[in-house]
A and B are shown apart, each in its own frame.
Chain A
Amino acid sequence: MNYETHEHDVLIIGAGGAGLRAAVEVSAQGLSVGVVSKSLLGKAHTVMAEGGIAAAMANVDAKDSWQTHFCDTMKGGKFLNNWRMAQLHAQEAPDRIRELEEWGALFDRTPEGEILQRAFGGHTWKRLCHVGDRTGLEMIRTLQDKGVHSGINIYMELTIFRLLKDGDKIAGAIGYWRQTGEFVVFKTKAIVLATGGAGKAYQITSNSWECTGDGHALAYEAGAELIDMEFFQFHPTGMVWPPGVKGLLVTEGVRGEGGLLANNKGERFMKRYDPKMMELSTRDMVARSIYTEVKEGRGSPHGGVFLDISHLPAERVKKKLPSMYHQFKELADVDITREPMEVGPTAHYIMGGVRVDAETGLSTLPGLFACGEVAGGMHGANRLGGNSLSDLLVFGRRAGAGAVEYARKLNSSPTLDTGEVEKAAKDMEAPFLRSSGENPYKIHRELQESMQSLIGIFRTEEDLKKGIGKSEELKHRTEKVAATGDRAYNPGWHLVGDLKSLLIVSDAVARAALTRKESRGAHSRLDYPNLDEKLGKLNVAVAEKNGAMNISTSPVPETPEELKKLLAENT
């Protein structure tokens, strides 16, 4: 079998905010680093982040502090978060932002010449540093330019489909160039997964085609543990019309800037669900409220609710929310400076992911690190808006440093098992060897329908079991799909690999959801509508055992006394 081989001390899979930040760190510490990206550089899902990046810089609200940010994050996550991650995140986010600025990023400014911060759901103070509503673009372009000039090796449009091990530790990975379909093997001491989320498991999602849970699946297959997979965040405000843009994100920045939610009776319904926080309640709460309003017949014409910012001066709307203005004007014929938007929940972010060590991002598998959305623990049962971009920077840097430390301590370079390489390549080629078989796109559509209707915002045991049965069926059908055409830039073939990942993630979400017999954060069980104190102290973990998905629970890391005191004072 033919394949090219590359060798790096550290291989980073994913070139979004987390992957690029990790790569910059590895390079700064003097090790050789390769970054693999499924897409072109600068197109990762980070580019779509709109509202801002959370950090207690106290530029606008002087009372803000890391302590308050920590408490907000834990409260938003329903105290299921890894406390140490939440603490590190709150403490280090301001430095990571100042660092971005030093690398050339230009945020919106206060009249005093500091970085401007805006209000967001669940944050006590105005905390989100932003650039209008294109914060993610600013971040990724800054990291991209920093990375390009830091001696990082970038492999664009290359898809990794299996991690390779030497005994019980990481030794490399195998993938293929999308442009030619040719296989590529990487030999490496450590791998950092920075592959983002898995929104493409759902029909209505804000996620781009890339978000297929690759890292979750790669880690799972290599034997690492995933946690908190039952927590999938539905962003309250996605577009609902026209059909082609259903699910497209409407930034929380609209509500942060003063946007109001109303049902078809003109009632600000949030007063019935969270009278204190109203529109700026946490995402899980707002999403459930909107869903309930629609279900009970108080929705807008296209099955959403109304979000209105037209009471602000038109110029201010265009200045602070330019992408939203253009998005609605061009795609939905709605002028948001004059009329309300129609919005509804959209699958947005997975809180669950690879179980990692808070300080280093090390997973339960030696040599495998994870950061950003693919890592679990930081956000607990529900993520606050703005905490994702800061997560990428704080833990991207930490995972990069962790991988460097690990690689340096390794006594000898791991060796690759050629048998394992050839087996992985053969499995990937299999869809071309079948003369007939189903179209993978059809299977993907069925998975999305099943996840949407059975494993969405509200769940029951009956639906979850049905969903698990469906994904079992789809798994068997995926094993028999055929790819047509040749290997060069073949999206149908690519989807076969994506489907395998999506099915692992979907299965993990459903099985973990079945285990958590309570309602907490983004996980709402109609058959168990209340919080369960005992379950509130447990993480649900998913790992492969003898070829089957094994579910277990483990205690949430105990918060130290001084932070417990802090939480008691602040919540």
Chain B
Amino acid sequence: MPDVIFKVFRGDTKGGQAVEYPVPIAPGMVVLDAILYIQGHLAPDLAVRWNCKAAKCGSCSAEVNGRPALMCKTRLDALTEGRPITVYPMKTFPVIKDLVCDVSWNYEVNKKIPPYQPAKDGRKIYQEDVDRVQEFRKCIECFLCQDVCHVLREHEKKAEFAGPRLFVRLAGLEMHPNDATNRSEFLKNSSGLGLCNITKCCTEVCPEDIHITDNAIIPLKERVADRFFDPLRWVFRKIFGKK
């Protein structure tokens, strides 16, 4: 089969540009196959993050032909024929080198989330209790939802907005059937949940098909509204002292 031209970003914190590489094509090939071919035959110092090559670890996130995607899951035959394929690092995070960017910010925000605490021992948990949460726990932390979210990508509000990935994590904790931690203050004041205007871009790019906006973010917004802005509940809390 003929070669396809790949235009791959080469550079670092100081800048860089796309470099063209011809890659022989095999049936069923994905973008990561091409990148690893380039690394193995043409440019041994080409930096790329990848681990499992099976869409389970979420390491090989990049922007392929301008679209955020996992390289291990992006088939070449699904991309438009007859023009070079461009591969760039995620735009929302600072570039370290070539296709590798600095995603450490996500880990820092994660540390601030009040952790899980079990309510009581020996409690039975039924499948219907966990179905909803298991959706959130499918997240492989590829950070594509963070990459595509305009609050982070265009408005650069990393200081005040946790982003879709961490809302998914928060939803997983909040809806956990045996969790006893109160995260109301964090949700209202620290997470930046209010900045999300539910454009659903995150949901569209999620390789795990998590309904981020509908199932995680909107219910969290409703919790905050109920907790802080529902006058009946406010009175109820004042009288009975419940959280």
Interface residues of chain A, those whose CB is within 8 Å of chain B, are: 39-45, 47-48, 102-104, 106, 108-109, 111-114, 116, 131-132, 134, 136-138, 141, 145-146, 148-149, 156, 179, 208-210, 241-245, 248-249, 323, 326-327, 330-333, 439-442, 445, 483-486, 488-493, 495
Main secondary structure of the interface of B (DSSP, over half): loop
Candidates B48, B51, B110; contact of A491 at CB < 8 Å: B48
Bound-state Cα–Cα, A333 to B29, Å: 12
CB neighbours of A326 from chain B (8 A): 55
Contact of A331 among B26, B30, B111, B129 (CB under 8 A): B30
Asked if B59 and A39 make an inter-chain contact with CB atoms under 8 angstroms apart, the answer reads yes
Whether B53 is near chain A, meaning CB under 8 Å from some CB there, is yes
Instruction: Name 27 A/B residue pairs within 8 A (Cβ), A-sorted.
Output: A39-B49, A41-B107, A43-B51, A44-B51, A45-B52, A47-B51, A106-B125, A106-B130, A106-B134, A109-B127, A109-B129, A111-B127, A132-B134, A134-B138, A137-B56, A208-B51, A208-B57, A242-B29, A244-B29, A244-B33, A331-B73, A439-B40, A483-B45, A489-B47, A490-B44, A491-B39, A492-B44
Q: Mark B163-198, 1 if CB is under 8 A from A, else 0.
A: 000000000010011010000000000000000000
Q: Count residues of chain B with CB under 8 A from any CB of chain A.
A: 57
Report B-chain residues with C-beta under 8 Å of the C-beta of A44: 51
Query: Once the chains bind, are B137 and A141 in contact (CB under 8 Å)?
Result: yes
Q: In the complex the two chains form, is A485's CB within 8 Å of B127's CB?
A: no
Contact, CB under 8 Å: B116 / A103: yes
Given contacts A208-B53, A210-B51, A249-B54, contact A145 B116 (CB under 8 A): yes
The answer on a CB contact under 8 Å between A148 and B28 is: no
Q: Which of A43, A45, A242, A439 contacts B27 (CB 8 A)?
A: A242
Stretch at the interface among B79-87, B94-102, B144-152, B224-232: B94-102
Tell me the chain B residues, 117-132 only, with Cβ under 8 Å from chain A: 118, 121, 124-127, 129-130
State A331–B49 Cα separation when bound (angstroms). Answer: 20
Supposing A138-B137, A243-B26, A483-B45 touch, asked if A156 and B104 sit within 8 A by C-beta, the answer is: yes
Interface centre among B28, B127, B133 (most CB of A within 10 A): B28
A48 touching B52, Cβ below 8 Å: yes
Residues on B close to A: CB < 8 A? 12, 26-30, 33, 39-41, 44-59, 73, 75, 96-98, 100, 103-104, 107, 110-111, 115-116, 118, 121, 124-127, 129-130, 133-134, 137-138, 140-141, 173, 176-177, 179
A131 to B116: give the CA distance in the assembly, Å.
19
Decide if A244 touches B137 in the complex (CB within 8 Å): no
In chain A, what residue has the closest Cβ to B173? A104
Q: Whole-angstrom distance from the CB of B102 to the nearest CB of chain A?
A: 8
Pairwise interchain contact B39-A244, C-beta atoms closer than 8 A: no
Chain B residue, CB-CB nearest to A487? B45
Whose C-beta in chain B lies nearest to the C-beta of A116? B127
6 other contacts beyond A106-B133, A109-B129, A243-B27, with CB at 8 A cut-off?
A104-B179, A114-B124, A132-B134, A331-B30, A442-B40, A491-B48
Give the number of A-B contacts (CB < 8 Å).
163
Bound-complex Cα distance A229 to B124 (A) = 43
Pairwise interchain contact A48-B127, C-beta atoms closer than 8 A? no
Identify the closest chain A residue to B123 (Cβ): A113
Contact B40 A445 (CB under 8 A): yes
If A40-B59, A48-B52, A137-B140 touch, does A483 touch B44 (CB 8 Å cutoff)? yes
A104 and B141 alpha carbons, distance in the complex (Å): 18
- The CA-CA distance from A331 to B134 in the complex, in Å, is 24
Q: Give Cα distance in the complex from A41 to B106, angstroms.
A: 11
Contact, CB under 8 Å: A134 / B111: no
CB distance from B10 to the nearest CB of A (A): 10
Partner of B44, one of A43, A330, A441: A441
**Chain A proximity of B188: nearest CB distance (Å):** 21
Chain B residue at smallest Cβ distance from A207: B52
Chain B residues within an 8 Å CB radius of A149: 111, 115
- How far apart are the CA atoms of A514 and B168 in the complex, in Å? 52
The reply to whether A327 and B54 form a contact with Cβ atoms under 8 Å apart is: yes
A145 contacts B115, CB within 8 Å?
Answer: yes
Asked if B126 and A113 sit within 8 Å, CB to CB, the answer is yes
In the complex, the answer to whether A243 meets B28 with C-beta atoms within 8 Å is yes
> Please, which residues of chain A bring their CB within 8 A of the CB of B54?
48, 245, 248-249, 327
Given A134-B138, A242-B28, A489-B47 in contact, is the A43-B130 Cβ separation under 8 Å?
no
Q: Report whether A489 and B116 are in contact in the complex, using a CB–CB cutoff of 8 Å.
A: no
Q: Which of A48, A109, A148 contacts B111 (CB 8 A)?
A: A148
A residues near B53, Cβ cutoff 8 Å: 208, 245, 248
> Which A residues lie within 8 Å of B26 (CB)?
242-244
User: Top 8 nearest A-B pairs by Cβ distance?
Assistant: A242-B28, A492-B44, A485-B45, A113-B124, A104-B116, A489-B47, A441-B40, A109-B127
